[in-house]
């Protein structure tokens, strides 16, 4: 990676998102303008440095934000360690030996505590880090309303109910709807799988005896062969091996994910299922053809997601250490 953050595709949606009804009225685009003016620069440099060291980190930070917001709202509960009094979410099935990026958030928070002590919430740090990760991986840039506060509890049981790769589209859509999102957000936010990797166990069931003792018929034959080689049927040791969610441009945030789905090359069953429904398939085809539509809609859906169940005002707290409550 270059020594300076690259100049990437830049598109701002400030006007559009300012008018969005999904942006909490207590969040503000200039929330830290006077109390922590260098916030964005501090976050961007730390995320850029982390991605320069490990390109997978862009996807990891984005996923961490998603896993936070879908469990009792965007309150940084996913960052809490287990304690005698609190059982965190890090050991929930979707997160254990899978969720990454905690150390990056720690670094950002440490730097912010030096620059503006007890001011910026871990929830806002995670929200900004996800935005920067997308931007630095080649995706769009969007303005983020801020002012979230940190939760003081976590829920392993709720984390175990996150949308999963084995669930049918109807179940996943229902989970999105329960958070105030809709089927369009399902399709758009699934596009996050344009970067990152998945462990073999999350898609291995498609490769061998999926139905009638045969592989998933919706999986491209060439990709199937490659995946069977990476994840042998009777090799349990291969379950944690990694395969790119987008085998064409795994490091670039683009719309190739959707082109893969059109070509029956979605890695996860839950991804390819988007082509099995007329409404979602139509959206997939549009995003596969027009990248600017994907960038625009992804930004809008991210702002919606980042507004789920936020704590503002005097609710919650501003953690000094993102891993523990004050």
Residue with token string 């990891």: 60
H-run or E-run covering 134 = helix 122-136
Which among 27, 123, 20, 22 is positioned nearest to 80, based on CA atoms?
123
Catalytic annotation present for 67: yes
Alpha helical stretches, state H, 11-71 = 14-18, 39-53, 57-69
Tokens of 202: 């999350």
**Separation of first and last alpha carbons in the chain:** 37
Enter the tokens of residue 214. 């045969």
Pick the catalytic residue from 22, 65, 67, 193.
67
Q: Could you give the count of Cα atoms lying within 13 Å of 43 in the half-sphere of its Cβ? A: 27
Q: Do 233 and 259 contact (CB within 8 A), yes or no?
A: no
Helical packing angle, 57-69 and 39-53, nearest 10° = 120
Query: Which positions ≥6 away from 52 have C-beta within 8 Å?
Result: 1
Catalytic residue positions?
67
């Amino acid at each position: 990676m270059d020594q300076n953050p690259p100049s990437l595709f830049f598109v701002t949606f400030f006007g559009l998102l300012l008018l969005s009804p999904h942006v909490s009225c207590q969040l503000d685009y200039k929330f830290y303008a006077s109390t922590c003016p260098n916030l964005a620069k501090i976050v961007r440099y730390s995320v850029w440095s982390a991605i320069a060291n490990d390109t997978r980190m862009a996807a990891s930070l984005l996923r961490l934000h998603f896993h936070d917001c879908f469990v009792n709202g965007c309150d940084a509960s996913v960052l809490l360690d287990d304690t005698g009094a609190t059982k965190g979410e890090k050991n929930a099935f979707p997160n254990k030996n899978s969720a990454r990026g905690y150390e990056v958030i720690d670094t950002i928070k440490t730097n912010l505590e030096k620059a503006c002590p007890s001011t910026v919430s871990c929830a806002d740090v995670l929200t900004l880090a996800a935005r920067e990760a997308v931007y630095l991986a080649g995706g769009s840039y969007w303005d983020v309303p801020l002012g979230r506060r940190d939760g003081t509890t976590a829920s392993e049981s709720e984390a175990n109910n996150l949308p999963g790769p084995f669930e049918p589209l109807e179940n996943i859509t229902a989970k999105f709807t329960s958070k105030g999102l809709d089927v369009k957000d399902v399709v758009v936010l699934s596009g996050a799988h344009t970067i990152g990797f998945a462990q073999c166990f999350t898609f291995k069931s498609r490769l061998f005896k999926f139905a009638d003792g045969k592989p998933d018929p919706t999986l491209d034959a060439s990709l199937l062969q490659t995946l069977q080689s990476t994840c042998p049927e009777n090799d349990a040791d291969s379950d944690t091996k990694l395969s790119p969610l987008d085998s064409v441009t795994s490091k670039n945030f683009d719309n190739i994910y959707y082109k893969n789905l059109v070509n029956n090359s979605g890695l996860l069953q839950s991804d390819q299922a988007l082509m099995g429904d007329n409404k979602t398939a139509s959206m997939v085809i549009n995003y596969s053809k027009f990248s600017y539509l994907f960038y625009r809609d992804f930004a809008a859906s991210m702002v919606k997601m980042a507004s789920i169940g936020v704590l503002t005002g005097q609710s919650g707290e501003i953690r000094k250490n993102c891993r523990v409550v004050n």
